[in-house]
Every structure is written in structure tokens, then in C-alpha cells.
């Protein structure tokens, strides 16, 4: 009989911070500059250069720690992690080992695919990134140290995840949080949010963890899922065939959809961590933590709950609107100006999202600002325009930047709610369609839709649909 | 002897040092003497004393997050034995 296996996943995420400068020197962290143009004696690792900690990096670490329910350490220290690689000029990476800044946090994840659960966060520590190696066609490898010394937070989870779906849910939530906090731009392609996955399998019921493989080169959510699924299957097959999983680092090859052992790195690592004598210990006071806590933005989970509970939005709307901070801020700015959350939600999720996607603009650059959109919604609610005409007004505002009232006036889009005017149109429609009128009066009431359509067409969409319905009924019945 | 030649050879390997058999012997003797001397500290009772991470009793030296002009590519590469395309050139790392 085939043994059933349980997958165990722990994740290490490297979050690149959005500070203007590097963690231990004043060089810029801007992406995509010419090689080695953003370097100085500190990040080049020149002898005698001394690192000085960027205070903003500590702020970002405290923010992230608080948002992930961590304990913020009152006292933490930096350590040297010693190894040789050409992208590491000093021969050691400054990181934290003992006494990291954040410990013992958690995130709650949920999805339709699994029962809600809590994922433990072991620690979050600050460290510097390495440089970049370019493997040129010629004889050597090229080293660009612009990225060296760029600040990173490493977020280490407990091995609490049991499927790729859970891992993705955890990562998406962490991603959403760091982007919301503004500490990371979240760009996975540029490597701002990088993930290594420790994956092992064990027979169901076994307490002891199986031997794990560390998967690297996972730079999209899709690749992470593919890599984990592949790796789980590989390990189970290996064990079923009587083999043994080897503890090793494996690279994901997105083209082939497989993970491959990284040869040449088999030598056991011995990083000989020790406290970095160049850096003073870090003390974070209660006051400092309280200051950061007070300035924390409302987080996506809190927003989602508030949208449901206080604004009365359906769960789906609340999730869509809270997913990204700029969108949530747009929506909130709209609700402030037009206090009908559900109508606002419909328009933001419908017209606004549709238009910004179609035109490929960011929500912050949406030409129909919350203020302009509120102008449209106001005219829908006071029956000046129908929902359908409102979409025309929306497009016009998108093009011209004018207000709803200006567009409605200029184009004569004001809804006709004048009974006399509508009665005239209705009389025409009834006169022009005697067959349908007879059938309607004979009991074919479904034809009401047809009459409404005709009237709307005659009025060029400007007739007040509610009033048209009411008047049509009266007129059609009158003459029986 | 607390330190064996095997220990020294291992550490030398991590530090990418190649030692001749004579050097290994000399180093082992010297390191053993040094560590034996430092080992005297273990005679002290340090229960309840927080390990010292830094020799100076100070904390929190910070920089503000303000860009300082970098030294430029040419200066960065000035001491490099080999450079190409604005980069440091090193022996090929990956086959």
C-alpha cells in the first residue's frame, strides 16, 4: 500500500527596503543604474571603512515586526556571516544572528482551498544584500556592487505550511503587508521580494520532520507553486523507490518546470558568526516602538473587516477594495465625498478598475479623481442621469477632466423626468407599434421591456427609466 | 593540546589559506597557546552576566537616510586588478 505523505514548508523571505540609501552607507539604492556607480569605500568593503546604521532601516524593521505580530527586541546586535563569494567584497555579510530585532510573530491565513490557520514567524532580522554577478560571454564573471549593502529584512517562518496553496497565501499576505507599510515596493521581478522555500515530506502521522531541500530562484508566485509541487512529487517518488532525500539547495528552472541540485555548493556551510565589532548594539525603547505603532497605516486585514462591518460591503467587495493600498485610498476618498459605500464600491470595481486596466494607468493617476466621480454619483442619486448615461459621463470626464455637471450640461445628458415630455414620446411609441400594443393588452406582459427600450431609444437614453416604466404602464392600461 | 592540526587545517580551509605541513605544525602550536591563555577566563563565574557584544558601553549610532554622492565607477575600479564594462572582473564563477 502506498504511504500517504504530508508536505512541510517553511519560508525565508528577503524583503528589499525602499530606503533612499543603503543600510550602512549613504550610497543611493536606485535600481538599474550603471554598474558600480553607486558605491563608496563602505559598500566596496575597502579596508578601514566603517559602517553606520541607517535609522530608517530600523524603523522599517519595527513596522514590519509590529504588522506581523512580532515581539520587538529592546536590544539587538549585528553579526558577521563569513563566507567567500565574488559578490561579497568584505568576505562577510553583516546580518543579525543571535538577538535579531523581531521574534515570535504570526500571520493568519485563509482561503477556499484550506481551513484558516496561523503561520508562525520565527524571526525578522536586518542585513545587507550582496552585489550582482553578471556571467558575461567572455572568460570572466563581472561584479556590480551597486546592490551591495542594500538593506534587506529576512522574514523566517516556522515550518507551519502544509501545501503550496498555504505557502502562497502566506506569501501574498506578507507581500501585501510590506507593500502597504511602504517598506518594500513588492516588485518580484526586480528581486525586491524574494523567497526561498524549505520543503520536506514525511509519512502522515510521523512527528519528526523529513530531510528538507531548500528551493531558490523563485521570483513569482506562480513559480513558487510550481517549484513546491514539483519538489514534493520528486521527494515522494524518491522515498517510494527506496531512496533518501539529501539536504541540499536546489534551483528552480522555470523553463523546464523542475528543480535542480546546485552543484559545487555541496560543501557544508560554516559561517562562523560573531558580533560585528564595527557596529554598536541597537537599543529600541518602548517610546520608539510606540511612536512607530502610532504611525502604522491601517493594514489590509483591518480595512477588509471595517469595510464589511462598518460600511456594510459584501465580503467580495471588501477584499477587492482593500487588496492594494492606493485602490483602498481611492475608494475611501470617494466614500468621504459620497456616503453610499455600495454604490461607490460598484463604481470603483466596475468603471474605475476597468478603465485603469484598459488604459494601463495607475489608480493614483486616474483622471477621474474621487472628487470627479463623486460628482457623477451625486447626479445618479438625484435622478439627473441614469446609470447608463453615467457611464457616458464617466468616459467624457476621463477624456476632458471636466466635472460631471459640466459634461451633463454641455452634452444635454440630463435625464428627462418631465412627465409631459415623456408622455409625448410614449404616445409616439404606442402609435408606432400597434401590433405589440395589442399583444401586450392580450396578456403578453413581457413586451414591457420592448416598450421601455423604444422609449429610451427615442429619448437617446435620457429618459428616467423608473418614470418611463410607470408612465408606460398607465398609458398601455388606459386605453383598454 | 586543545587544538589539533585537523582543527587548524579546517579553519585554514574556510579562510582559503594553504599551509605547508611545517606551517600547520607551527600554527597549531601557536593557536593552542593563545587559546590556552584565553581559556583562563573560563575559570570566572559568569552566571547571570549578559554577554558583551561591543567593547564600548554605547548603543545606537545612526545615519539619516540621505543620499551622499558616491565615489563613481572609475574610482571604485581604480584598485581592481581587472575590470570590464564598468565591472570588477573575476575568474568565471559558474560553469
Instruction: Kindly report the nearest CA distance between residue A124 and chain B, in angstroms.
Output: 19
Does residue A278 have a pLDDT over 60?
Answer: yes
Taking domain A419-478, whether its CATH number is 1.10.3720.10 is answered by no
Does residue A8 sit in helix, strand or coil? strand
Window from A46-50, A132-136, A188-192 with minimum mean pLDDT: A132-136
Instruction: Kindly report the nearest CA distance between residue B49 and chain A, in angstroms.
Output: 15
Structural domain boundaries of chain A?
5-287, 298-411, 419-478
Q: What is the ipTM of this complex?
A: 0.89
Give me the percent of chain A exceeding a pLDDT of 90: 50
Taking domain B5-43, whether its CATH number is 3.40.50.300 is answered by no
Residues in B closer than 8 angstroms to A20, CB to CB, are 65-67
Instruction: Classify residue A465 by burial, with Cβ atoms within 10 Å: 0-12, 13-18, 19+.
Output: middle
- DSSP secondary structure string for all residues of A144-210: E-SSTT-EEEEEEE-S-B-SHHHHHHHHHHHHHHHHHHTS----TTTTSEEEEEEEEEEETT--SPP
CA pair distance A281, A300, nearest whole angstrom: 33
Residue among B61, B65, B84 whose CB faces A142 most closely: B84
Q: Which of B66, B75, B76 to probe the A interface (max A CBs under 10 A)?
A: B76
Contact B14 A272 (CB under 8 A): yes
CA pair distance A451, A459, nearest whole angstrom: 12
Reading the block at residue A276, the C-alpha cell is 560585528
Question: What number is the average pLDDT over the span A40-62?
Answer: 96
For residue A144, the chain B residue with the least C-alpha distance is: B87
Over the stretch A123-176, which tens digit does the pLDDT of each residue have?
999 999 999 988 766 678 899 999 999 999 999 999 999 999 999 999 999 999
CA pair distance A192, A152, nearest whole angstrom: 9
Contact A140 B90 (CB under 8 A): yes
Could you tell me the pLDDT band of residue A196, with boundaries at 50, 70 and 90?
Answer: very high
Angle at A86 between CA A136 and CA B14, to 5 degrees: 140
Reading the block at residue B76, the C-alpha cell is 571604485
Structural domain boundaries of chain B?
5-43
Question: What number is the average pLDDT over the span A201-213?
Answer: 88
- The residues, any chain, with a CB within 8 Å of residue A78's CB and separated by 6 or more, are A53, A94, A95, A96, A126, A275, A276, A279, A282
- The residues, any chain, with a CB within 8 Å of residue A336's CB and separated by 6 or more, are A370
CA pair distance A201, A213, nearest whole angstrom: 10
Residues in B closer than 8 angstroms to A142, CB to CB, are 84-85, 87-90
Amino acid at each position: 500500500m502506498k504511504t500517504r505523505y504530508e508536505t512541510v514548508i517553511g519560508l525565508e523571505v528577503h524583503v528589499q527596503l525602499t530606503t533612499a540609501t543603503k543600510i550602512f552607507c549613504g550610497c543611493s539604492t536606485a535600481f538599474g543604474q550603471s554598474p558600480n556607480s553607486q558605491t563608496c569605500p563602505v559598500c566596496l568593503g575597502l579596508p578601514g571603512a566603517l559602517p553606520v546604521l541607517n535609522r530608517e532601516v530600523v524603523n522599517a524593521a519595527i513596522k514590519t515586526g509590529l504588522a506581523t505580530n512580532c515581539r520587538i527586541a529592546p536590544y539587538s546586535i549585528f553579526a558577521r556571516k563569513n563566507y567567500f563569494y565574488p559578490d561579497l567584497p568584505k568576505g562577510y555579510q553583516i546580518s543579525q544572528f543571535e538577538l535579531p530585532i523581531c521574534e515570535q510573530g504570526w500571520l493568519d491565513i485563509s482561503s477556499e482551498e484550506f481551513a484558516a490557520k496561523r503561520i508562525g514567524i520565527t524571526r525578522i532580522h536586518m542585513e545587507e544584500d550582496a552585489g550582482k554577478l553578471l556571467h558575461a560571454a567572455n572568460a570572466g564573471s563581472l561584479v556590480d556592487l551597486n546592490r551591495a549593502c542594500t538593506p534587506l529584512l529576512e522574514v523566517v517562518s516556522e515550518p507551519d505550511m502544509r501545501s503550496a496553496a498555504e505557502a502562497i497565501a502566506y506569501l501574498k499576505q506578507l507581500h501585501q503587508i510590506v507593500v502597504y507599510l511602504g517598506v518594500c515596493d513588492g516588485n518580484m521581478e526586480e528581486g525586491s521580494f524574494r523567497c526561498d522555500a524549505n520543503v520536506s515530506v514525511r509519512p502522515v502521522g510521523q512527528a519528526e520532520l523529513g530531510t528538507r531541500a531548500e528551493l531558490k530562484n523563485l521570483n513569482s508566485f506562480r513559480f513558487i507553486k510550481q517549484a513546491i509541487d514539483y519538489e514534493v512529487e520528486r521527494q515522494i517518488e524518491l522515498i517510494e523507490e527506496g531512496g533518501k532525500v539529501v539536504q541540499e539547495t536546489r534551483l528552480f528552472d522555470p523553463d523546464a518546470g523542475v528543480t535542480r541540485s546546485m552543484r559545487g555548493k555541496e560543501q557544508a556551510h560554516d559561517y562562523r558568526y560573531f558580533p560585528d565589532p564595527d557596529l554598536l548594539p541597537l537599543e529600541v525603547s518602548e517610546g520608539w516602538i510606540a511612536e512607530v505603532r502610532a504611525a502604522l497605516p491601517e493594514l489590509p486585514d483591518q480595512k477588509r473587516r471595517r469595510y464589511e462591518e462598518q460600511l456594510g460591503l459584501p465580503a467580495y467587495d471588501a477584499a477587492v477594495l482593500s487588496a492594494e493600498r492606493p485602490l483602498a485610498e481611492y475608494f475611501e476618498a470617494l466614500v468621504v465625498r459620497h456616503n453610499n459605500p455600495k454604490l461607490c464600491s460598484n463604481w470603483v470595481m466596475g468603471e474605475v478598475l476597468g478603465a485603469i486596466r484598459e488604459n494601463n494607468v495607475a489608480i493614483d493617476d486616474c483622471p477621474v479623481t474621487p472628487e470627479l466621480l463623486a460628482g457623477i454619483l451625486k447626479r445618479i442619486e438625484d435622478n439627473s442621469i441614469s446609470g447608463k448615461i453615467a457611464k457616458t459621463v464617466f468616459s467624457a470626464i476621463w477624456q476632458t477632466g471636466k466635472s460631471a455637471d459640466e459634461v451633463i450640461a454641455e452634452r444635454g445628458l440630463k435625464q428627462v423626468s418631465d412627465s409631459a415630455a415623456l408622455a409625448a414620446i410614449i404616445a409616439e411609441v404606442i402609435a408606432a407599434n400597434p401590433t405589440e400594443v395589442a399583444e401586450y393588452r392580450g396578456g403578453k406582459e413581457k413586451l414591457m421591456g420592448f416598450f421601455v427600450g423604444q422609449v429610451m431609444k427615442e429619448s437617446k437614453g435620457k429618459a428616467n427609466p423608473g418614470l418611463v416604466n410607470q408612465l408606460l404602464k398607465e398609458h398601455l392600461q388606459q386605453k383598454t | 593540546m586543545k587544538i589539533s592540526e585537523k582543527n587548524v587545517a579546517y579553519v585554514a580551509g574556510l579562510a582559503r589559506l594553504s599551509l605547508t605541513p611545517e606551517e600547520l605544525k607551527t600554527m597549531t602550536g601557536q593557536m593552542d597557546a593563545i587559546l590556552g591563555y584565553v581559556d583562563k577566563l573560563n575559570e570566572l563565574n559568569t552566571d547571570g552576566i549578559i554577554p558583551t557584544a561591543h567593547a564600548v558601553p554605547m548603543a545606537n549610532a545612526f545615519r539619516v537616510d540621505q543620499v551622499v554622492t558616491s565615489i563613481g565607477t572609475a574610482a571604485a575600479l581604480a584598485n581592481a586588478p581587472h575590470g570590464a564594462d564598468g565591472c570588477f572582473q573575476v575568474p568565471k564563477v559558474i560553469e
